[in-house]
Amino acid sequence: MRFRLYGGIGLLLIAATAVAFHRVPEAPASPGGVFDDPIAPPPAYAETHYTVRKGDFAGTILERYGFPSKSILKAAEGVYDLTRIRDEREFTFGYTQNVLHGTFARYTINEDESVVVRFENDGWNAKLETVVYETRTIAREISSSPTFWNAAISAGIRPNDFMRLPEEIFQWEVDFNTEIRKGARIAMVAEGLFYEGELRKLGKIWGAVLSNDGKETWAVRHVHPDKTVDYYGPDGKARKRPFLRSPLKFSRVTSGFNLKRYHPVLKKRRPHYGTDFGAPTGTPVRSVGDGSVVFAGRNGGHGNQVRVRHKTGHETGYSHLSKILVRRGQTVTQSQLIGKVGSTGMSTGPHLHYEMKLRGKNIDPMRAKLPVVEPLPKSERPAFEATRDKWLPELKAALAGEPLSNDAL
């Protein structure tokens, strides 16, 4: 059935009953129109949706859609502050026949939660609604051809969920920007969270294996007695290391460690004691490990630079920054943001120059043998081995493109 609206307030004329009914769409139709079928009964309830845009205010949106904004905002206070709406989030508005204002408003806080305000018993009541997912064990095999990202989407895995694999499991051993080779594959067994029969996101990742450049890196999830989670190889060695492979999440190597490199600015041979990562200005720069900031400021041709000293005897440097986010003497943790990519100092364009020293001597940060953490404590081995023995066969099957066993389902 089609109907049109008079003006911006959305007064619907129902030919059969002459009942007034609010219905305000994002783009009101031109005035003058009624239901095409005067015999069919009018709908008792209708909904419309609105996606928040930059600069929007909740009160303005509510009034535009026929809701008393002050009453709605007041009712929602104890559940969620609707003055804090964010771009790209969605409102859903409901309208009930014979009621001259909207009767239902939902704002999506995040993928799992919404605040819902309903008109009931002549008053407005708000509550928090949480999505209830159905949990199933799933297996996926993802190839880097043409890219991991495209293959993950084709396999029903959101890019944000796929990024958990390098960030939670593999980033200490492989830089996904520079060290992934053609034909690389990842297989994983995980908790799939389904809603209305559709895979919405991943829960716990039980295990994963990366096959890259002739090497397989296996990892199984382990929960420590203090409830913290880490991933270990079949031999009990931790996947997490004291140093990340790269200070940037997304980048490309534009120049490597080279003692005879031709300098593009000075136009002569000059040692290049580090690795250059090409990235746009403003790209976040991470400390590759725990440590203390020994320098944060302007340093000649390095431009804005941060240097971090680590307990292992290593020192790392991050140069040409557009912005420094730490100060000298500050303690930083692994993955903490310390600056942003720029082109300060002797630079031909935005990039990060990344250096590493060991006991004062420059070393190649991309080839250096970095320290490893202690293996799993002996007291935790039995629990880990039971988990390992459950998931390793499933990972092997996933890597071979075979279905999960009945025990995993």
With beta carbons less than 8 A apart as the criterion, state whether 185 and 211 touch.
yes
Which pLDDT tens digits describe the chain residue by residue (409 residues)?
333 333 333 333 222 333 334 444 443 333 333 334 444 455 688 999 999 999 999 999 999 999 999 999 999 998 999 999 999 999 999 999 888 889 999 999 999 999 999 998 889 999 999 999 999 999 999 998 888 888 898 889 998 999 999 999 999 988 887 888 889 999 999 999 999 899 999 999 999 999 999 999 999 999 999 999 999 999 999 999 999 989 998 767 766 545 555 555 545 555 778 889 989 999 999 999 999 999 999 999 999 999 999 999 999 999 999 999 999 999 999 999 999 999 999 888 999 999 999 989 999 988 888 888 878 989 999 999 999 999 999 999 999 888 887 666 6
What is the per-residue pLDDT for 65?
Answer: 95
- Cβ-based neighbour number of residue 155 at 10 Å: 15
Question: Alpha helix (H) ranges present in 41-98?
Answer: 58-64, 69-76
Residue 33 has what pLDDT?
33
Give the architecture-level CATH label for domain 252-363: Distorted Sandwich (2.70)
> H helices of 77-187, where?
148-154, 159-162, 164-165
Q: Looking at residue 258, what is its pLDDT?
A: 57
Rounded to an integer, what distance in angstroms lies between the CA atom of residue 338 and that of residue 290?
Answer: 12
Q: Where are the domains of the chain?
A: 1-131, 134-239+378-399, 252-363
pTM of the shown model = 0.73
Pairing of the two strands 198-212 and 291-298? unpaired
DSSP 8-class letter at 153:
H
CB 167 within 8 A of CB 159: no
| pLDDT value at residue 403 | 85
Q: Tally Cβ neighbours within 10 Å of residue 109.
A: 19
* Adjacency order of strands within the sheet including 284-286: 284-286, 337-340, 323-324
The reply to whether domains 134-239+378-399 and 252-363 share a CATH topology is no
In terms of CATH architecture, what is 1-131? Roll (3.10)
Q: Which residue has the tokens 């990024």?
A: 163
pLDDT of residue 31: 33
Does CATH number 3.10.450.350 belong to domain 134-239+378-399?
A: yes
280 backbone dihedrals φ, ψ, rounded to 5°? -65, 150
